[in-house]
Structure 1
Amino acid sequence: MQTGISLCMIVKDEARSLQRCLDAIQDVVDEIIVVDTGSTDETIHIARRYGAVVISAAWTGDFSAARNLSLAAATHPWILVLDADEVWMQTEHNLAEMKRLLTSSQDDVWGYWIQVTSLLGMSGEERVTDVVCRLFRNDPRIAFQGMIHEEVASSILSFAPWGVVDSGLEIIHYGYLEHVIVGKNKPERNMRLIRSALQESPDQPELLYAMAAEWFQQARYDEALKLLQPLLAKLTPECGYHSDLVLKTAYAWRERSRPERALAIVEEWRAVYADFPDLLELGAVLELDQGRDAAALDWLKQAKAAASTASRYTSVSGAGTYRSLTLEGMAHERLGCWQEAAKAYTAALALQPGSLSAWQRLLLLAAATGRPNAIASAAQRISLPPAAWQALIPAALDAHRPEWLSRHAASLSAALRAQPLAAGLALAQLGEDAAARAALQPWATHAQHGPEAALALWALGHKQPGEHRTRAAAGLARGVAASSPAQREARQQAAAPDAARAAEALL
């Protein structure tokens, strides 16, 4: 597809990711410019295999300088910027939209916002979306700014205040996955670069916010608040990252056990960010923290109404949709409105079948209200991923509903194999002691499962004869197994004088 686009990248030791990136984009762009800042792996070889112009440059600690070097080498009228750990979405929509944008672009459009969807966690089970200017005209006035967290939009807006518009395009970013962060030691690198930049510009708000964001990501909320609070008092929504500043400041106060102060911040900016579902959800959480469940429902109603505008902000997956519905269910539970809670959880699962929190709450709700059929009906309507089935097993045991596991044995077969003690614990809850012993005994000496199995077997051996107890071994056994050996020994010794009573508590 001839689009008149130069792809511009900066790389260093990206052999693991670069091929995936270039495979997806090679047929969309007309040339590839790669600035390499000192790779020692196969990065340069891979780039040249795709016909890239490779420019070797010494790393100076300035991301913008490296980016701008790549822009200077571009020869086509439009520039697309990608990182090696990003992938252009190869969809018909993306291709058609790219072609439409560049063939019908008006003279007053200088750049386009592109949605960057960052995968989080171990395998992308959660996502964060943001919009960034990554597609723009090849013009000497357009350049990156900032030594770290560099961006190009400010240079466009300085001469064309309305020159960056939405595109409808999407890029997937893999760089926030846990194994990538650990492998590249990004937090340490970022802190080093920010400190270096602050030595030159100690009062620059963007750098102070970048430092605060790093403290925040490391859950060092006291350090983060020392920077966030003054910035919030000083900056206005026009700064470009103000919405995120508000959200982080409020969240940090909540983490410091100050929900009332956090809520005051959210309420102060509620009118300005009435279309920011993440902030509105936080308002609901803060109301729940303080026992104001009906007020939380008001916040969630507004968050759901704002779901369609989440893409305007840095937003976590599910904000205004299945996350808000799960919180709504929790608020209804606390108000004693069981039917409304079940409806909210089921609606959340219809939008995101893999929402473990919604499944767990629905299961516990059904168990507490004696309506296990609610789970069955929801499971029939919604295809539950295997990981969700596995997460629901301990919830069923904790809720003392072993019959639910029996009823859905076929669907749970794979998950039960992954949790080998579950079947024995369920049998113990059902009062089938002999079968429970037979199921648990093989695991008594297992390195991982042995402590929990041994404790459950101990409890079975000390039950009062002839009595079937409904209390599960699962919850307490798991708690003891997770503690230290000394704690387990002390707890068992404390239970020894009244073994029958302890066994009753366990089983």
Structure 2
Amino acid sequence: MNLGLCMVVRDEEHNLPACLDPIVDLFTEVVVVDTGSRDSTRALLRQRYGIVPAEYPLCPTRCGGIIDARNAGLASMSAPWIMSLDADERISRSALQDFTRLSDDPEVSGYFFRWMNRIPGDVEFEDYKLFVFRNGLRMRGLVHENVSIDLRDRRLAARWHDGIDVHHLPRWVPAERRALRMNRLRCALEQEPRWYRYHWFLGYTMSLTGRMDEAIHHLQVASSSLSLRFPVEVLNSSILLADIAARAGDGPQTIAILERALDFHRQVATDFEVQINFRLRPWLEEAWRRARRGQLQSIQA
């Protein structure tokens, strides 16, 4: 696989060596976009790796997001496959070497990897992220940007790759990270009110901070949209709403949420990201059975 690397950085002099040293030579092309570093990031890239970073200042009207910088970097690349990586993420050299030996499957336009998050002062949790995709695809969304929407709009598909764990080691403590996330999401929602991914993330984040009325509002907007462009966000919002209703002891509401979510899951079961989230349907089915038996307290998202 002819694989290039695209990164967006700012003040990452302490992160870049641990990120790049083990793997940088495995890429046929490396593009780094700097959004305004005040430390020695740019000098480090030039001196240590021979990389001249492009400079792309952030636009204050774009909610502090880096999507424009990401897409500018992607547009400048020629490698047929691109990995998008952040400086606080780590990949095993041997795992990446194995991945680059894959043959080019014309039916696949992107690859999801396991994403292991270790946030200071918080619990480690497992997630997934679409790290590798074909050249020509673009990020979408002012906040929490990814290429999944572009894949769906073009009727392309991505696949799970089980051979790589990407370890995410952010410096933010949870309270600071959540406050920044909510401010950016509110800003993005003003500009793109039907981008239901923002509603899901706002609802989830607010639920963590105990702001349940606001959380329920955003989760209901996402869940009731039944959006085919955001199927996982619809289902995740439904799961959290069912959890909230069950904890409140509202059996009929819990059952209604779960039945609607199961109907929607049947509609989007062939979506590439829904297929990767293979735990969604079993959870919904088991929660529905428990709700029907009145075992509401055993339903937990």
Shorter chain as denominator, the TM-score bin is: 0.7 to 0.9
Query: What's the CA shift string for 1:239-279, capped at 9, x where partnerless?
Result: 23223222222233356x34534455345535748843783
C-alpha deviation, 1:22, in angstroms: 1.1
Q: For 1:283, which of 268, 287, 290 is the aligned residue?
A: 287
**Deviation, structure 1 residue 148:** 0.5
Q: Is 1:70 equivalent to 2:70 in the alignment?
A: no
AA at the equivalent of 2:205: E
Structure 1: gaps spanning 5 or more residues: 301-315, 317-507
Change in Cα spacing, 1:110 to 1:122, as seen in structure 2 (3 Å) is: same
Between the aligned residues of both structures, percent identity stands at 26
Partners of 1:219 and 1:282 in 2: CA distance: 26
**What is residue 149 of structure 1 aligned with on the other side?**
144
Deviations 1:416-445 (A, max 9, x none): xxxxxxxxxxxxxxxxxxxxxxxxxxxxxx
Partners of 2:112 and 2:140 in 1: how far apart? 17
Q: Counterpart in 1 of 2:97?
A: 95
Correspondence for 1:192 among 159, 168, 183: 183
Structure 1 counterpart of 2:261: 269
Query: Which of the two has higher C-alpha Rg?
Result: 1
**Shift in Å, 1:7:** 0.8
Q: TM-score, normalised by structure 1?
A: 0.49
The answer to whether the 8 A contact 2:109-2:158 is kept is yes
* Amino acid in structure 1 at the alignment position of 2:66: F
Q: CA deviation at 1:193?
A: 2.1
How many correspondences in the alignment?
A: 280
Across the aligned residues of Structure 1 and Structure 2, the Cα RMSD in angstroms comes to 3.4
Structure 1, 9-18 or 261-270: larger mean CA deviation: 261-270
2:149 alignment partner, SS class = helix
Secondary structure at the aligned position of 1:20 is classed as: helix
Post-superposition Cα deviations, 1:91-122, rounded to whole Å, max 9, x if no partner, equal 4x44223311xxx2133432222222223564
Q: Residues 63-462 of structure 1 correspond to what in structure 2 (within 5 A)? A: 63-91=66-94, 93-100=95-102, 104-120=103-119, 122=121, 126-130=124-128, 132-139=129-136, 142-159=137-154, 161-168=155-162, 169-175=164-170, 180-182=171-173, 185-236=176-227, 239-241=230-232, 242-254=234-246, 257-258=248-249, 260=251, 261-262=253-254, 264-266=256-258, 268-269=260-261, 272=265, 275-276=279-280, 279=283, 283=287
> Quick check: which one's helix share is greater?
1
TM-score norm. by structure 2 comes to: 0.78
User: Any idea what SS the aligned residue of 2:21 has?
Assistant: helix
Separation in structure 2 between the aligned mates of residue 158 and residue 199 of structure 1, nearest angstrom: 23
Residue 123 to residue 225, structure 1, CA distance change in 2 (3 Å): closer
Unaligned runs of 5+ in 2: 267-277
Residue type of the partner of 1:145? Answer: R
In the alignment, what sits opposite 1:381? Answer: none
CA distance in structure 1 between the partners assigned to 2:290 and 2:119 by the alignment: 24
Aligned equivalents of 2:13, 2:289: Cα separation in 1: 42
Could you tell me how far apart the structure 1 residues matched to 2:228 and 2:80 are? 32
Shift of 1:35: 1.0
Contact 1:63 / 1:146 at 8 angstroms: preserved in 2? no
8 Å CA contact 1:262, 1:286 repeated in 2: no
More strand as a share of residues: 2
Greater relative contact order, per chain length (Cα 8 Å cut-off, separation 6+): 2
